[in-house]
């Protein structure tokens, strides 16, 4: 058992010196595709559920558990379009930043979105149809986001999860210690889900933990409080990357590792996992750079050495394949073949040589 654990750690490029990190190879393969953005709202065939006179819902992916109650703090991702023009005016997935919404205390322009979220379960993804009366209203919005007047809206929403009440206490109303503690609790729940091989549920918990550590919050922290927050936030990003690697969502894994490296440019786990993701994307030069940098700080790590060797073997295989392709196209230089002279050419050569010899014989007599 101990040998197996060591082998898993080495294949992950990690030293298991804490409980913050997860070992990706111990989990079963789970396929959970990310939401797609094909230049417009998703096309859904299922029937619409009427939640309100101006709010309808179509389920894209089923969730689990209970629906959030009033004053619950919900964490969600969404894309938003103007329905009649398919103009996208907001996308939190692109920003990699979940949004917090307190049911019953949302902004006026998010009233319809709040009604939809209140009728969703954790992990559920849905398409919401919201009338302009419960959106940006008669006047619209001409700043950010840019929404025309009287515009019906479409939201592709995923409810990551929610915290029941504290009577609607928002993150901004919590003390630093409360927010860090809440994030750490979510991280531990995510690790528990991961051990049960429930990757989507684990990712939901990590995303909620990251939401507590938003940019607005981190910007205000200095000294020991910033160190405390990063000690929770960075492992969540790394664990998200580990899950995304298993789910073959490599570009997202690169993004999660890059967030950690923006705070800690020499983080070996982040360099290793980003290198793995880049290698899978075919970005071999960038992957090699990550692995080589990681090796400077962990020269004895066998997993890093292995990945560098695999890249070298890959480059050699590509070179040999290209060599064969070019050889097939151009081929070896052909040997010149002696040309066979026609009898006419031979005759004229003989005649010219005969005339020259006769001319040479007569020339001395003339002299």
Specify the CATH number for the domain of residue 194: 1.25.40.10
Quick one: 10 and 62 in the same domain?
Answer: no
251 within domain boundaries: yes
**Inside any domain, residue 355:** no
Q: Are residues 149 and 199 in the same domain?
A: no
Beta-bridged to residue 130, according to DSSP, are 55, 153
Separation in Å, CA 95 to CA 77, 126, 162, 252 = 10, 20, 20, 11
With respect to residue 276, please indicate whether it lies within any of the assigned structural domains. yes
Q: What is the pLDDT of residues 256-281, one digit of tens each?
A: 999 999 999 999 999 999 999 999 99
**Domain contains 246:** yes
Domain housing 258: 2-18+171-309
Say yes or no: 55 and 128 in one domain.
Answer: yes
- My answer on whether 67 and 108 are in the same domain is yes
Those residues with Cβ within 8 angstroms of residue 209's Cβ, 6 or more apart along the chain or in another chain: 182, 183, 184, 185, 186, 187, 190, 232, 233, 236
Same domain, 62 and 14: no
Binning pLDDT at 50, 70 and 90, where does residue 197 land?
confident
Q: 244 and 267: one domain?
A: yes
Q: Do residue 254 and residue 203 come from a single domain?
A: yes
Total domain count, the chain: 2
Phi, psi (deg, nearest 5) at residue 163: -110, 125
Question: Where does residue 14 rank: exposed (0-12), middle (13-18), buried (19+ CB within 10 A)?
Answer: buried
pLDDT at position 347 is 74
Q: pLDDT tens digits for 132-184?
A: 999 999 999 988 888 999 999 999 999 988 877 554 456 667 888 988 988 89
Residues 61 and 158 in one domain: yes
Average pLDDT in the 44-68 region?
91
Task: Provide CB contacts within 8 A for 214, sequence distance 6+.
Answer: 97, 171
Tell me, yes or no, whether 316 lies in a domain.
Answer: no
Q: What is the pLDDT of residue 339?
A: 59
Q: For 246-261, write each residue's pLDDT tens digit.
A: 999 999 999 999 999 9
217 assigned to some structural domain: yes
CATH number of the domain bearing residue 128: 3.10.50.40
- Establish if 348 belongs to a structural domain: no
What is the pLDDT, as a whole number, of residue 154? 96
Regarding whether 303 and 179 lie in a shared domain, the answer is: yes
Looking at residues 91-116, what average pLDDT do you find?
87
Chosen domain end from 108, 137, 163: 163
Q: Does 298 share its domain with 178?
A: yes
Least confident of 31-35, 197-201, 323-327, 347-351: 31-35
Last residue of a domain, one of 289, 309, 329: 309
Tokens of 284: 């071999």
Chosen domain end from 285, 309, 333: 309
7 lies in the same domain as 83: no
For β-strands 73-82 and 49-52, DSSP reports them as unpaired
* Domain contains 148: yes
């Amino acid at each position: 058992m101990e040998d197996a654990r060591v082998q898993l750690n080495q294949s992950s490029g990690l030293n298991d010196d804490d409980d913050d990190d997860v070992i990706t190879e111990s989990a079963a393969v789970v396929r959970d595709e990310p939401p797609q953005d094909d230049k417009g709202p998703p096309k859904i065939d299922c029937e619409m559920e009427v939640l309100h006179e101006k709010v309808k819902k179509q389920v894209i992916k089923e969730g689990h558990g209970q629906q959030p109650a009033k004053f619950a703090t919900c964490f969600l991702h969404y894309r938003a379009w103007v329905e009649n023009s398919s103009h996208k005016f907001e996308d939190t997935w692109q920003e990699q930043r979940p949004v917090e919404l307190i049911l019953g205390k949302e902004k006026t322009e998010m009233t319809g979105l709040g009604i939809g979220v209140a009728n969703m379960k954790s992990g559920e993804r849905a398409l919401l149809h919201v009338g302009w009366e419960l959106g940006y209203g008669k006047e619209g919005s001409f700043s950010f986001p840019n929404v025309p007047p009287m515009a019906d809206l479409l939201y592709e929403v995923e409810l990551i999860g929610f915290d029941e009440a504290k009577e609607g206490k928002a993150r901004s109303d919590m003390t630093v210690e409360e927010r860090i503690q809440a994030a750490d609790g979510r991280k531990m729940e995510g690790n528990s889900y991961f051990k049960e091989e429930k990757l989507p549920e684990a990712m939901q918990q990590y995303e909620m933990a990251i939401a507590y550590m938003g940019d607005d919050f981190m910007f205000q922290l200095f000294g020991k409080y910033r160190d405390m927050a990063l000690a929770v936030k960075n492992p969540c990003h790394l664990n998200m990357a580990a899950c995304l690697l298993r789910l073959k969502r490599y570009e997202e894994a690169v993004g999660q590792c890059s967030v950690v490296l923006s705070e800690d440019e020499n983080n070996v786990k982040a360099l290793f996992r980003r290198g793995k993701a880049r290698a899978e994307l075919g970005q071999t030069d960038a992957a090699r750079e990550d692995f080589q940098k990681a090796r400077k700080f962990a020269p004895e790590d066998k997993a890093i050495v292995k990945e560098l060797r695999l890249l070298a073997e890959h480059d050699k295989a590509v070179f040999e394949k290209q060599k064969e392709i070019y050889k097939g196209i151009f081929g070896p230089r052909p040997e010149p073949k002696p040309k066979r002279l026609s009898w006419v050419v031979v005759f004229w050569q003989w005649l010219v040589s005969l005339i020259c010899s006769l001319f040479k014989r007569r020339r001395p007599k003339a002299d």
